[in-house]
Structure 1
Amino acid sequence: MKKFKTIFNQVKALEGAETPELISLLWQLIYYSPKMPVRLQQQQLLNEAKAFTLEVDDPHFAKANLKFNGFIWGEGNRRILVTHGWGSKAADFAELITALKNLPDTQIIGFDAPGNGSSEGELSNLILFAKAATAIIKTHGVPDVLIGHSLGAMANALAIKDTGIEPELLISITPLINLKENFIATLNSADVSREVQAKFFADFEQLFEMQASDFIMDKVYPAGLINRHWLAFDPEDKVAPVGFLKSFLNLHPEIETRIYENLGHERIIKDETLIADIINLIS
């Protein structure tokens, strides 16, 4: 988190001046995922897991294969894949994973996406999240249930679409819906001018060979491949504005939703009521 704050302050200090230094810093501002240390309870949970390591290619930032770390709890036949959000890690689902472990005949798989937690990578992005989820599916088998928080919810949708699997249940918790708007909000908060933002998005299109506006849930959503989709959100969430979510839900009225008030974007995954509801859904 300290590094991210340093990058943010450096960008603000340049006061929007279009310089090579500023353009370089903007890539770090948008794509550096803040890292928080593992707490004791989280480490104890990780110690109980069977650890594994897989690789994905990163042609955009590292321009190399990146190793990412995963964790398996249980040996049951019903497989649950848990995908964390931006600036997070598998261990941040400690409360939920602990509850899931009590379900019979269950195997839970979590992972630290490239550039997050304990995994390799300096910068990260949605594509790397989805590639990691896809690599797990191809290596460890098709999950019956996928659970994703924030960017992890969008990554799960993209992985389902890329692999063509048909999970029994998809659970999305405060999903990000429109990444370009999240990028713009971050750039605005750092006082980056519209002219410099336009330059950033032009460079983005050249690097990824697609527009930032393509990184929206509407375009990555695997309609027809999901038997049941349950979605949890806080209407006052500042990170994933409810306006974008409502527009998406209007396109997919089959998605079941539940509102959890006064939890925000991050604390919601630790909420006892939410966890109990997820356990009831799966069991």
Structure 2
Amino acid sequence: MKKLKTVFNQLKSLNGGEPSDMINLLWQLICYSPKMPVRLQQQQLLDEAKPFTLEVDDPHFAKSALKFNGFVWGDGQRKILITHGWGSKAADFAELIAALKNIDDTQIIAFDAPGNGSSEGELSNLLLFAKAAGAVIKTFGAPDVIIGHSLGGMANAIAIKETGIKPALLISIAPLMNLKENFIASLNAADVAASAQDKFFTDFESLFNMDASGFTLNNLYPAGSVTRHWLAYDPEDKIAPFPFLKSFLAAHPEVETSVYEGLGHEKIIKDENLIADLVRLIA
């Protein structure tokens, strides 16, 4: 978190100026994922898991293979895959994982995406999240249930498409809907000039061979590949604004929704009511 604050403050201090290293700072602002230490309760849960390490290729930033770490609880027949959000890690689902462990005949799999938590990588992006989820699916087999929070919801959509699986239940918790709008919000908060923002998005398109506006859940959604999709949200979520979600739900009326007010974007995954609802859904 300290590094991200430093980058943010550097950009703020420029007062809209555009020094020669501006674009490098912008990439760090958008693609550096802050890392928070593991708490004691979280570490105790990780100690109970069977750890694993897999690799994915990062052709954009590291330009090499990156190792990422994962964790498995249980050896049941029903597989549950959890994909965390931006600036998060598997251990941040400690309360949910502890509850899911009480469901009979389950195997719970979670991982730290490249550039997040305990895994390798300086900068990260949505595609690395999706590649990691895909690598887990190919290694452990198709999950019956896939859970994703925030950016993890988008990553799961891509992984489902890429692997061709058809999960019985997809659970999205406060999923991001429009990645470019999130980028713009971060850039505006740092007082980045419009011309520098335009340059960043031009470079983004060149690097990823895709306009940032294409990274929306509407575009990425694996329609027809999910038997049941259940989505939880807080209508006052500032990170995943409701107007974007409303547009998505209008296009996909089959998605079931549940509202959890007053929790915001991060605390929602720890909410006792949400966790109880998820256990009922899965059990």
Instruction: Quote the residue 1:73 is aligned against.
Output: 73
Deviation at 1:20, TM superposition (A): 2.3
Q: Residues of 1 paired with 2:14 and 2:261: CA distance?
A: 38
Residue 68 of structure 1 deviates from its aligned partner by 0.1
1:125 aligns with 2:125: yes
How far apart, CA to CA, are the structure 2 residues paired with 1:14 and 1:58? 31
* Residue 212 (1) aligns with residue 186 (2): no
Cα offset, 1:161, TM superposition: 0.8
Matches within 5 A, 1:238-257: 238-257=238-257
Structure 2: distance between partners of 1:93 and 1:3:
24
The 3-state SS of whatever aligns with 1:82 is: strand
- C-alpha separation between the residues in 2 aligned to 1:193 and 1:248? 30
Give the structure 2 partner of residue 278 of structure 1.
278
Secondary structure in structure 1 of the residue aligned to 2:159: helix
Q: Which residue identity lines up with residue 119 of structure 2 in the other structure?
A: S
Partner residue, 2:144: 144
Distance 1:124 1:20 in 2: 23
For residues 202-238 of structure 1, what are the alpha-carbon distances to aligned partners after superposition, in whole Å with 9 as ceiling and x for unaligned?
Answer: 0001111110001110111000000000000000000
Q: What are structure 1's unaligned runs of at least 5 residues?
A: none
1:93 aligns to what SS in structure 2?
A: helix
User: Pairwise CA RMSD of aligned residues?
Assistant: 0.5
Listed one character per residue, the Cα deviations across residues 226-260 of structure 1 (whole Å, up to 9, x for unaligned) are 00000000000000000000000000000000000
SS at match of 1:165: coil
The residue type equivalent to 2:196 in the other structure is: V
Measured in 1, the distance between the counterparts of 2:206 and 2:158 equals 21
Task: Name the residue aligned to 1:230.
Answer: 230
Match of 1:155 in 2: 155
- What is the identity, as a one-letter code, of the residue corresponding to 1:182? N
Residue equivalent to 1:262: 262
Cα separation, 2, equivalents of 1:137 and 1:185: 33
What is the TM-score with the length of structure 1 in the denominator?
Answer: 0.99
Helix, strand or coil at the partner of 1:20: coil
What residue is the counterpart of 2:33 in the other structure? 33
Q: Distance in 2 between matches of 1:195 and 1:38?
A: 39
Matched residue type, 2:106: T
Amino acid at match of 1:236: E
Letter paired with 1:269: I
* Match status 1:172 vs 2:172: yes
Q: Which residue type is aligned with residue 226 of structure 2?
A: I
Compute the displacement of 1:5 (Å).
0.4
**Partners of 2:227 and 2:220 in 1: how far apart?**
17
In the TM superposition, residue 266 of structure 1 has moved relative to its aligned partner by 0.2
Q: Distance in 1 between matches of 2:40 and 2:6?
A: 27
- The structural deviation recorded for 1:23 is 1.0
Residues 28-59 of structure 1 deviation map (CA, whole Å, 9 limit, x = unaligned): 00000010000000000000000000000000
The total of aligned residue pairs comes to 283
Distance 1:210 1:111 in 2: 27
What's the offset of the Cα at 1:14?
Answer: 1.6
Partner of 1:16 in structure 2?
A: 16
Question: Any idea what SS the aligned residue of 2:116 has?
Answer: coil
Structure 1: distance between partners of 2:207 and 2:18:
19
Contact in 2 for aligned 1:88/1:117 (Cα 8 Å): yes
Deviation at residue 18 of structure 1 after TM alignment: 1.9
Q: Please give the secondary structure, in 2, of the residue aligned with 1:275.
A: helix
Structure 2 counterpart of 1:189? 189
Q: 1:197 offset after TM fit, Å?
A: 0.4
* TM-score computed with the length of structure 2 as normaliser: 0.99
